[in-house]
Amino acid sequence: MKAKERLIPLRQRATGGRSRLRAAIGLALVVGATSAIAVAPPASASIAQCSSNRACGWFDPNYASNFGAWTSAQWSMPGGVIYWPNNISSTFNKRTHNITWFMDVGYAGGSMFYPPTAGGYYSWPHMAENNIESLRFY
């Protein structure tokens, strides 16, 4: 397996996932007090962004915010303009084969095994919330 593979960024919105999520949580705790802070995801962000033969990830729960799709295993989720390690909160397997998401680099740490068409999203205290660092293809 190649250590890194091409990322297919259909949407790039450079925002800090973790800090933005924390801001959203903070906003939820003071409902109505800070209406000037906008945290709405792009209207087009959805599970439908995930095309065939790809494993997909989003920064936010409910398949929202920054979107990435991978066509091969990722020993370490890629960095760059969109920094994927420890920033994914939604996943979907649009392949015809199984995948496993891992919480640490190198297919290590906690894991989530997903057969084809399986997906989900994660909020604290789920172990996968902003914690995925590698992706295995089978």
Which residue of the chain is nearest Ca ion when measured via CB?
131
Encoded tokens for 30: 């003071």
74 near Ca ion, judged by CB under 5 A: no
Near Ca ion in 119-138, by CB under 5 A: 131, 133
Q: Between residues 49 and 114, which has the closer beta carbon with respect to Ca ion?
A: 114
Residue 20's H or E segment, with its range, is helix 17-29
In angstroms, rounded to a whole number, what is the distance separating the alpha carbons of residues 75 and 17? 21
**Residue 133 Cβ, how far from Ca ion at the closest point, in Å?**
4
74: left (phi over 0), alpha (psi -120 to 50) or beta: beta
Query: Does the bond joining 125 to the residue before it have cis omega, within 30 degrees of 0?
Result: yes
**Residue 136 Cβ, how far from Ca ion at the closest point, in Å?**
15
Q: Between residues 16 and 42, which has the closer beta carbon with respect to Ca ion?
A: 16
The interface region with Ca ion, picked from 20-28, 37-45, 102-110, 118-126 by CB under 5 A, is 102-110
Residues 6+ apart with CB under 8 A from 86: 18, 130, 131, 132, 133
Q: Between residues 49 and 60, which has the closer beta carbon with respect to Ca ion?
A: 60
- Give 12's DSSP letter: -
**Residue 43 Cβ, how far from Ca ion at the closest point, in Å?**
30
Binding mask 78-97 for Ca ion (x = CB under 5 A): --------x-----------
Residue 127 is which amino acid?
M
Residues of the shown chain interacting with Ca ion in the complex, contacts defined by CB under 5 A: 86, 103, 131, 133
